[in-house]
């Protein structure tokens, strides 16, 4: 599947200085959406045969490490830049043995086992997407070789016409012009809390049954059974006409721009992409006060924070935006200015290039 880590990594490699760096994309495992996306965008890649790439057993990981070592020794690589879970472990161990430097790009929980127990052994440097996600200092930690570099974002999406996007959305959905549309953009899994999104729409209607609020869920199932859980939450709350399952839409930015608010109920989120994309296109954000959300949003200035796992409080914050369009406009303007200055591609890539140069030195 394609996730935020893949989008960030591909954005970065396209912008690396070609006079100094030659990125090579290596995919392991069965063919899927990521390979198709690379092909659609004309980005060359190699598919590496891994023995049982999905296995978490010691034998499966050992076999994968051996295959990775062989490839690294043949390819003349200087760095291995890993971007997710199991690849950190497999390619980190292989890089250590093959004499190649590993950059461990951490986009997960700060207490992840790999970050705690493997990164101190294999990683030459750790890049964390937020202070929240960074490894905690201890006697055995990669914290002393970690730096925070926020993910890169294509700031050109800030030029999207929100009025036109909203008009197109209203026409497709058949909503009235005075509807208040709330969007959810994420894979369906426990950390993203899609059920909390549904419960928040229900709470908003309990508080004011006359409110013309609608929830749009964009995404697809990441953890087995979650799509069914979301559908049941919609049915149990009688929201079949108020909360719609939209599936995966591309480009997502136009739909984010069409929404009156983005709701991010995710907990322990290292640093969400859609949150910043909403800032760029001018859509006000309501997010759970958890994880990296707190670093991205200044409450009342660049967004609104609500108590995590509290649909009533999230509904209260959404009501503030619905009842006071001036508040939403002020927050959106502040957030757009902040995102443009803080999360551009160039700033991210220059920081990565500086890190590569330091390692080489």
CATH number of domain containing 162: 3.40.50.2000
Check whether residue 246 and residue 351 sit in a common domain. Answer: no
pLDDT given for residue 84 in this prediction: 86
- Asked whether residue 12 falls in the same domain as residue 128, the answer is yes
Examine the domain organization and report whether 132 and 163 are in the same domain. Answer: no
Same domain, 144 and 169: no
The beta strand positions in the chain, using DSSP E, are 25-28, 45-48, 79-82, 101-106, 123-128, 146-148, 180-185, 213-218, 243-247, 261-264, 285-288, 304-306
Shared-domain flag, residues 329 and 356: no
Instruction: Examine the domain organization and report whether 144 and 248 are in the same domain.
Output: no
Co-location of 349 and 232 in the same domain: no
Q: What is the pLDDT of residue 53?
A: 52
Residues 218 and 311 in one domain: yes
Residues 324 and 304 sit within 8 Å (Cβ to Cβ): no
**Pseudo-torsion of CA 95, 101, 103, 104, nearest 10°?**
40
The count of domains in the chain is 2
My answer on whether 205 and 352 are in the same domain is no
| Co-location of 173 and 311 in the same domain | yes
In the beta sheet, which residues pair with residue 184?
Answer: 217
250 CB contacts (<8 Å, ≥6 apart)? none
Cβ–Cβ < 8 Å for 250, 244: no
- pLDDT at position 63: 85
CA angle 352–356–361, rounded 5-degree value: 145
pLDDT less than 70: residues of the chain: 51-59
State which residues form the domain around 137. 4-152+344-360
Asked whether residue 274 falls in the same domain as residue 231, the answer is: yes
My answer on whether 108 and 123 are in the same domain is yes
One-character DSSP codes across 251-302: SHHHHHHHSSEEEE--SS-S--HHHHHHHHHT--EEEESSTTHHHH--BTTT
pTM of the model: 0.84
**Cα separation, 328 vs 334, whole angstroms:** 10
DSSP state of 76: T
């Amino acid at each position: 599947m394609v996730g935020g880590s893949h989008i960030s990594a591909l954005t970065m490699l396209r912008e690396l200085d070609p006079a100094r760096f030659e990125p090579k994309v290596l995919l392991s495992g069965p063919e899927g959406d990521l390979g198709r996306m690379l092909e659609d965008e004309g980005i060359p890649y190699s598919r590496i045969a891994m023995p049982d790439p999905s296995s978490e057993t010691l034998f499966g990981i050992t076999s994968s490490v051996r295959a990775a070592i062989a490839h690294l020794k043949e390819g003349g690589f200087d760095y291995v830049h890993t971007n997710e879970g199991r690849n950190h472990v497999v390619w980190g161990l292989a890089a250590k043995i093959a004499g190649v430097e590993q950059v461990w790009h951490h986009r997960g929980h700060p207490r992840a086992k790999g970050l705690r127990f493997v990164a101190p052994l294999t990683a030459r440097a750790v890049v964390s997407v937020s202070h929240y996600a960074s490894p905690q200092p201890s006697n055995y930690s990669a914290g002393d070789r970690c730096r925070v570099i926020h993910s890169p974002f294509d700031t050109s999406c800030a030029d999207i016409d929100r009025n036109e996007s909203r008009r197109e959305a209203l026409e497709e959905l058949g909503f009235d012009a005075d509807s208040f549309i709330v969007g959810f953009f994420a894979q369906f899994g426990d950390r993203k809390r899609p059920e909390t999104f549904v419960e928040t729409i229900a709470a908003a209607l309990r508080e004011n049954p006359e409110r013309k609020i609608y929830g749009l869920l964009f995404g697809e199932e990441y953890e087995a059974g979650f799509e069914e859980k979301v559908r049941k939450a919609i049915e149990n709350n009688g929201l079949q006409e108020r909360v719609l399952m939209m599936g995966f839409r591309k480009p997502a930015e136009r739909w984010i721009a069409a929404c009156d608010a983005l709701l991010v109920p995710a907990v322990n989120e290292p640093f969400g992409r859609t949150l910043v994309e909403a800032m760029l296109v001018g859509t006000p954000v309501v997010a759970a006060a958890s994880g990296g959300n707190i670093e991205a949003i200044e409450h009342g200035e660049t967004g609104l924070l609500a108590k995590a796992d509290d649909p009533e409080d999230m509904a209260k914050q959404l009501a503030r935006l619905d009842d006071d369009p001036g508040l939403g406009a002020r927050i959106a303007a502040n957030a757009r200015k902040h995102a443009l200055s803080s999360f551009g591609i160039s700033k991210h890539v220059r920081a990565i290039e500086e890190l590569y140069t330091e390692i080489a030195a």
